[in-house]
Amino acid sequence: MTDTTATPATLPVDESFAVPVSEASLARAADALSKHGFAVRIVDTAEEARQLVTELLPTDKAVFTSTSETLRQSGIQGDVDGSGRFVSVRAAQADWDLRARHDDVRRTRSAPDVVVGSVHAVTEDGRLVTASASGSQLAPYAFGAAQAVWVVGAQKIVPDLETALRRIETYALPKEDLRAQQAYGQRSVVAKILISNLEFVPGRATVVLVREPLGC
């Protein structure tokens, strides 16, 4: 049995990636994302993002919330999965034996009507970069969901792809590794990375950029 009370191991964290970028950097990222087919909305606070997302989400279609500190901290996860207002995939599966019904979980969460989540970095030239241990959120992000909404704190904006990958390794991974040890008693890894350069389906994907830091 895993001892979840043991002192967790820690990886070095580059705290420079916790600082929101300048307004000029945010504007460059927003402009580039727009040119790459993403709808972009900019808000000042997590609460404004929360209000906006609840307006963007349909109430008659299946919505899947990817595991995300951004959604948890902002209250969006609670709104979708706990309010009863939305058709939540997670709420519908709350009493499932997820291990026994692995194939059902995989299918329903890979192609929901709507996915809501975050990414680990946004580049100023308009790329979304997402890392994952299992890859469970990458399928709906890339194609499986008919509609995607990503909420992204301004501390996740970086100049280029090289810096985005460094942010994942030196900031997002250490933070998630610590969380995983505390929550599950196991280490986290970066097993798969999705780089979204363009969105070809008009109106499919919305990026909500938040001027204050949010998530990791």
Q: What is the CATH number of the domain that holds 198?
A: 3.40.50.10420
Within a domain: residue 101? Answer: yes
pLDDT, tens digit, 9 for 90 and up, residues 13-48: 999 999 999 999 999 999 999 999 999 999 999 999
Within a domain: residue 1? Answer: no
- The range of the structural domain enclosing residue 70 comes to 15-210
Look over the chain and give the mean of its residue pLDDT values, rounded to a whole number.
94
Within a domain: residue 4? Answer: no
Within a domain: residue 10? Answer: no
The pLDDT score that the predictor gives to residue 168 is: 98
The pLDDT score that the predictor gives to residue 195 is: 98
Within a domain: residue 116? Answer: yes
Within a domain: residue 30? Answer: yes
Residue type, 115: V
Structurally, how many domains does the chain consist of?
1
Would the pLDDT of 119 be above 90?
yes
Q: What is the distance between the alpha carbons of residues 176 and 136, in angstroms, rounded to a whole number? A: 15
Within a domain: residue 6? Answer: no
CA 65 to chain centre: 9
Would the pLDDT of 1 be above 70?
no
Paired sense of beta strands 62-65 and 121-123, if any: unpaired
Cβ neighbours around 47 below 10 Å, total: 13
